Amino acid sequence: MTERHEQVSEPDTDFDRLIAEARQCHRCPLWQQARQMVFGEGPLDAETMLVGEAPGDREDVLGHPFVGPAGHLLDRALQDVGLDRKGLYLTNAVKHFKFEPRGKRRIHQSPVASEIKACNVWLEAELALVKPKVIVALGSVAARGLTGHVVRIGASRGRPLPFGETSLLVTTHPSAILRMEEPEKSENYALFLEDLRLIPALIAHDSS
Length of the chain: 208
Min separation Cβ 141 and ligand URA, Å: 7
- Is the Cβ of residue 27 or residue 58 nearer to ligand URA in the bound state? 58
Please give the backbone phi and psi of residue 76, each rounded to the nearest 5 degrees, phi first.
-65, -45
Min separation Cβ 54 and ligand URA, Å: 6
Please give the backbone phi and psi of residue 197, each rounded to the nearest 5 degrees, phi first.
-70, -15
- Is the Cβ of residue 167 or residue 172 nearer to ligand URA in the bound state? 172
- Residues 6 or more apart whose CB falls under 8 angstroms from that of 26 comprise none
- Is the Cβ of residue 42 or residue 56 nearer to ligand URA in the bound state? 56
- Is the Cβ of residue 59 or residue 126 nearer to ligand URA in the bound state? 59
- Helical residues (DSSP H) of the chain, grouped into ranges: 14-23, 57-62, 69-80, 113-130, 140-147, 153-156, 174-179, 184-196, 199-207
Q: Which residue is nearest to ligand URA (CB)?
A: 52
Min separation Cβ 203 and ligand URA, Å: 23
Q: Which residues bind ligand URA (CB under 6 A)?
A: 52-56, 59, 65-66, 68, 70-71, 92, 175
- Is the Cβ of residue 47 or residue 59 nearer to ligand URA in the bound state? 59
| Upper half-sphere CA count for residue 119 (Cβ side, 13 Å) | 35
Min separation Cβ 52 and ligand URA, Å: 3
Min separation Cβ 59 and ligand URA, Å: 4
Q: Compute CA 199 distance to the chain's CA centroid, rounded to the nearest angstrom.
A: 15
